Amino acid sequence: MFWSKGRKKTEEAVLEEVRDSLGQWRGLLEQMRQGQTEEAGKLAAVLEENRQAAQEEAKVLRRQSESVEDLLDFMQEEAEKKSALEEQLQESREREEALLALACCAREQLELVTQRLMEDASWREQCRMLEQEAEKYLRDADMRETGKAGEPVDYELHQVLDAVDTDKEELAGTVARVYRRGRIYRGKVIRKAQVAAYRAASVSVSGS
């Protein structure tokens, strides 16, 4: 009887311990479940943040890509405009050169005509008026003529084709005769005047 009671108590104690162990185990499982739930929630939040960040980065990249494409389009348009302007400038230069050549040719023809007409006294006044008008047109076109008798020889402006001896020191190194006038257009010598220059009788003068 005593043994039975003692055994019963022992069994009850074991059962109690088992129940306590089960309770602790359930508690641990509940804590683990709660911890896993919290971790899963945190992980889900991190994943959502990463997803949103990725979406924002994708938007930024799309905007940047669009900006780059817009920039490339703009650069292409500017390059085409530049090319068109260069072509227009080239055409303008070619037209200018053609008009310049035509103007120089017309001026030379006028010069030849006036030289012939100046031999007739009745035409001299008219020829002077024509020369004055021609000089005005040249100034308006930013063109200047070089090669006048008496002006100092300047090898940047004059091509000396002949030398004329002189005993007058003040004439040495000046233009004696003009065979063909020179042209300066917009500050650039486009043709040297062809002249004969005075030289002192004992000095040899050459030109280029």
Residue pair 160/207 in contact by the 8 Å Cβ criterion: yes
DSSP for 106-132, written as a single string? HHHHHHHHHHHHTTSGGGHHHHHHHHH
Length of the chain: 208
CB-based contacts of 169, cutoff 8 Å, min separation 6: 200
Give the per-residue pLDDT at 205: 45
Report domain 145-208's class: mainly beta
Residue with tokens 């004329």: 164
Give the per-residue pLDDT at 153: 94
Give the per-residue pLDDT at 152: 94
Which helix or strand (DSSP H or E) is residue 72 part of?
helix 2-117
**What tokens were used for 21?**
């162990």
pLDDT tens across the length of the chain (208 residues):
444 555 555 767 767 776 777 777 676 666 666 766 777 777 777 778 888 888 888 888 778 777 888 888 888 888 888 888 888 889 888 888 888 888 788 888 888 888 788 788 888 888 888 888 888 888 888 888 899 899 999 999 999 999 999 998 889 999 999 998 899 998 899 899 999 999 988 654 444 4
Q: How many CB atoms lie within 10 A of CB 128?
A: 12
Give the per-residue pLDDT at 7: 56
Residue 152 is classified by DSSP as B
Angle at 92 between CA 88 and CA 93, to 5 degrees: 120
Q: What phi and psi values does residue 84 have, to the nearest 5 degrees?
A: -65, -40
Q: Positive or negative, the Cα torsion across 113, 145, 204, 150?
A: positive
Give the per-residue pLDDT at 160: 95
Partners of 175 in the beta sheet? 197
